Structure 1
Amino acid sequence: MGNEWNRIRAEKGGYVENKVQIMDKVKKGDILFVQYDAFGKKIKEYITDNDGVVASIKDYPYSEPGDSLGRVIYTNNK
Structure 2
Amino acid sequence: MGITVTESEFSGEIGRFLDAALRSPVTILGPGAYRRAVVVSPAFFDRAVSALEDLENIQKAQAARDEHGYISHDRLKAELGID
Name the TM tier (shorter chain): under 0.3
Query: Whose radius of gyration is greater, 1 or 2?
Result: 2
Compare the two structures and name the one with the higher strand fraction.
Answer: 1
Q: Normalised by the size of structure 1, how large is the TM-score?
A: 0.24
Compare the two structures and name the one with the higher helix fraction.
Answer: 2
Q: Normalised by the size of structure 2, how large is the TM-score?
A: 0.23
